Amino acid sequence: MEFDVAVIGWGKGGKTIAGALARAGKSVAMIERSTDMYGGACINVACIPTKALIHSAEIRPEKSFDPDYFDQSVERRDSLTEAMRGKNYSMLADLETVTIINGTARFTGPHSLLVEAGDEALEVTAETIIIDTGSIPRLPEVAGAELGGRFHTSVTLQHAPLPEHLIIVGGGYIGIEFASMFAQYGSEVTVLDKNPRPLHREDWDVAAEVFDSLADSGVRLVSGATVLRLCQETDCAAVQYLWNDQEQTVRGDAVLIALGRRPNTDGLDLAAAGIETTETGAIKVDERLATSVPGVYAVGDVNGGPQFTYISLDDSRIVLDQLTGSGTRTTADRVAVPSTIFTTPPFSKVGMTVEEARAAGHTVKIAVKKVSDIAAMPRPKIVGDPRGIIKIVVDEATDLILGAALVHVDSQEVINLVALAMRHGVTASELRDTIYIHPSSTEALNEVLASI
Ligand SMILES: Cc1cc2nc3c(=O)[nH]c(=O)nc-3n(C[C@H](O)[C@H](O)[C@H](O)COP(=O)(O)OP(=O)(O)OC[C@H]3O[C@@H](n4cnc5c(N)ncnc54)[C@H](O)[C@@H]3O)c2cc1C
Ligand SMILES: NC(=O)c1ccc[n+]([C@@H]2O[C@H](COP(=O)([O-])OP(=O)(O)OC[C@H]3O[C@@H](n4cnc5c(N)ncnc54)[C@H](O)[C@@H]3O)[C@@H](O)[C@H]2O)c1
């Protein structure tokens, strides 16, 4: 079958491009290998289901081990993701110019694909091809590191029974979020990370606030742990690791492997199209997300950029700008991209830490306050969680904001405002003197920025 555009993978960037081009009258093939993944990872297995589970954990006053409550939360999560999957399906299926093809695609030439589903195969050709096949978990290169049974990825763990003791290997985004969440469902949680401390790139006072909130929930963080081997025993799983030159073993009901995710190019046969990859296995793209083959673009996790849904979405803007706009958007014009780790309370950041700002040659002013010491920020007290810290790094010479780290209730909202200020050259003084809603978390900026 011949199309104007073929999109491989229903991720955020791919589906946005598919919808926009189809509405512009192009014939579009959306190729997705799993009917459970209409809408992509974010709504089905990643951002949305995890945040739904986190929310249910947070609103529960009792933090004791309660598998029934967990099961109810899973049901609530599933009804939410099912509804979103249906909506995502309709958003493309209802467009006359879109053909949805269920199957796994691989390249047979620069502009031709073979889509296979069981015994069936379909040839697809298109002038424009968008690759949006996401990422897959990295496994440790140690004995016994095979998934299945008690060893989980973030996806399978969400569908397993609530573990009494969860061991998490890796203290990054997924490791920390799952630790915070499962501890609030009453699981005993141990996190093993190889770095001297998790969040090692963050300023110590900021990281300490996150560690304190994890410790409040009973999470045990083991830093500087080198995992040696994993094994499944009859009634438990065991992780052996080296810590302070001594071999240690921790046993639990389930192990979550959260060591990062690699671009998913498996089985795409990129070589058949002449599409180049980088040393880290990502599809090689330029600043306009064009691959080494004209007319073929890669968006989302598979191109090796930051692994966030909103980056995949921004990738779609860049590609659409090539195909239907002025062609001026590039990845280089991204400024102040924020991120949030959804602990309780959430940790959000944008721009540079103090150390990074100094290393970049800035003389900095630091506005920093613990949330409990901020008089004009009643919102965390209203919702019953006055933990955290607000830290804003300001360039002394220009009064521009270089970075911010926010650990507090609603920080995933407030960080967007700080990022917008950074993008548009709003000074720290202007942000300090702005009128904010009361009571809100944003109004803390009045007081915190007045401290410098
Ligand atoms: C547990 C977890 C929580 C996360 N939480 C957040 C969060 O809160 N906020 C955030 O911004 N990001 C979060 N992320 C990251 C975010 O989910 C990803 O960055 C984002 O989903 C990547 O989207 P994508 O466009 O690359 O493609 P994906 O959404 O990964 O979609 C790829 C699609 O391609 C399909 N596919 C793969 N190969 C083929 C093939 N050969 N043929 C056909 N189809 C194929 C797959 O089935 C899949 O549907 C989280 C990730 C995880 C794992
Ligand atoms: N809220 C969000 O936006 C959100 C949530 C979840 C995931 N994500 C995205 O998904 C990506 C993948 O998440 P992730 O947590 O798997 O990766 P990550 O890169 O965030 O963290 C991996 C962690 O594993 C540790 N590690 C690596 N090798 C190790 C080893 N051998 N032994 C012990 N520790 C080791 C690293 O030090 C790091 O702390 C994230 O980078 C993020 O972009 C985003």
Same domain, 357 and 426: yes
| Alpha carbon of 79 to ligand 1 centroid (Å) | 20
Give the tens place of pLDDT for each residue, 238-290. 999 999 999 999 999 999 999 999 999 999 999 999 999 999 999 999 999 99
Q: What is residue 143's predicted lDDT score, i.e. its pLDDT?
A: 85
Structural domain including 396 reads 339-449
Q: What is residue 423's predicted lDDT score, i.e. its pLDDT?
A: 98
| Alpha carbon of 55 to ligand 1 centroid (Å) | 21
Ligand nearest to the CA of 268: 1
Same domain, 271 and 240: no
Q: What is residue 322's predicted lDDT score, i.e. its pLDDT?
A: 97
Q: Atom 27 in ligand 2: which residue has the minimum CA distance? A: 259
Last residue of one domain, picked from the residues 333, 363, 382: 333
CA dihedral 91, 316, 310, 199 (to 10 degrees): 140
Same domain, 292 and 364: no
The parts of the chain modelled with pLDDT lower than 50 are: none
Same domain, 79 and 126: yes
* 345 Cβ neighbours under 8 A, 6+ residues apart: 213, 380, 385, 387, 388, 407, 408, 409, 411
Q: What is residue 136's predicted lDDT score, i.e. its pLDDT?
A: 97
Q: What is residue 330's predicted lDDT score, i.e. its pLDDT?
A: 98
Q: Which of helix, strand or coil describes residue 138?
A: coil
Residue 144 located in a structural domain: no
Q: What is residue 373's predicted lDDT score, i.e. its pLDDT?
A: 97
Same domain, 25 and 160: no
In CATH, what number is assigned to the domain containing residue 437?
3.30.390.30
Residue 156 located in a structural domain: yes
Same domain, 61 and 121: yes
Last residue of one domain, picked from the residues 234, 259, 284: 259
Query: Crossing angle of helices 67-93/12-23, nearest 10°?
Result: 30
Q: Is the CB of 175 under 6 A from ligand 2?
A: yes
Same domain, 25 and 107: yes
**Model-wide pTM > 0.95:** yes
Q: What is residue 257's predicted lDDT score, i.e. its pLDDT?
A: 96
| Alpha carbon of 349 to ligand 2 centroid (Å) | 16
Q: What is residue 118's predicted lDDT score, i.e. its pLDDT?
A: 94
| Alpha carbon of 193 to ligand 2 centroid (Å) | 10
Same domain, 233 and 160: yes
Last residue of one domain, picked from the residues 218, 233, 259: 259
Structural domains of the chain, count: 3
Q: Atom 51 in ligand 1: which residue has the minimum CA distance? A: 46
Q: Which of 139, 174, 406 to mutate to test the pocket of ligand 2 (most atoms within 8 A of CB)?
A: 174
Q: Which two tokens stand for residue 438?
A: 């009361």
Dist. CA 417–CA 30, nearest whole Å: 35
Dist. CA 175–CA 199, nearest whole Å: 11
Residues assigned a catalytic role: 438
Q: Is the CB of 194 under 6 A from ligand 2?
A: yes
In CATH, what number is assigned to the domain containing residue 241?
3.50.50.60
Residue 143 located in a structural domain: no
As for the ipTM of the complex, it is: 0.98
Residue 146 located in a structural domain: no
| Alpha carbon of 431 to ligand 1 centroid (Å) | 35
Q: What is residue 62's predicted lDDT score, i.e. its pLDDT?
A: 86
Same domain, 249 and 267: no
Q: Which two tokens stand for residue 247?
A: 């071999």
Residue 410 located in a structural domain: yes
* 113 Cβ neighbours under 8 A, 6+ residues apart: 6, 8, 31, 105, 106, 107, 123, 124, 125, 126, 129
Instruction: Give the annotated binding-site residues for NAD(+).
Output: 170-177, 260
Same domain, 24 and 124: yes
Q: Atom 4 in ligand 2: which residue has the minimum CA distance? A: 173
Same domain, 384 and 327: no
Residue 87 located in a structural domain: yes
Residue 195 located in a structural domain: yes
Q: Which of 133, 317, 339 to mutate to test the pocket of ligand 1 (most atoms within 8 A of CB)?
A: 133
Instruction: Give the annotated binding-site residues.
Output: 51, 133-135, 170-177, 260, 301
Phi-psi region of 313 (alpha: psi -120 to 50; beta: other; left: phi over 0): alpha
Same domain, 20 and 126: yes
Residue 142 located in a structural domain: no
Ligand 1 is surrounded, with C-beta below 6 A, by 8-13, 31-34, 37, 40-42, 46-47, 50-51, 104-105, 132-134, 154, 174, 264, 267-268, 300-302, 307-310, 312
Q: Is the CB of 341 under 6 A from ligand 2?
A: yes
| Alpha carbon of 308 to ligand 1 centroid (Å) | 8
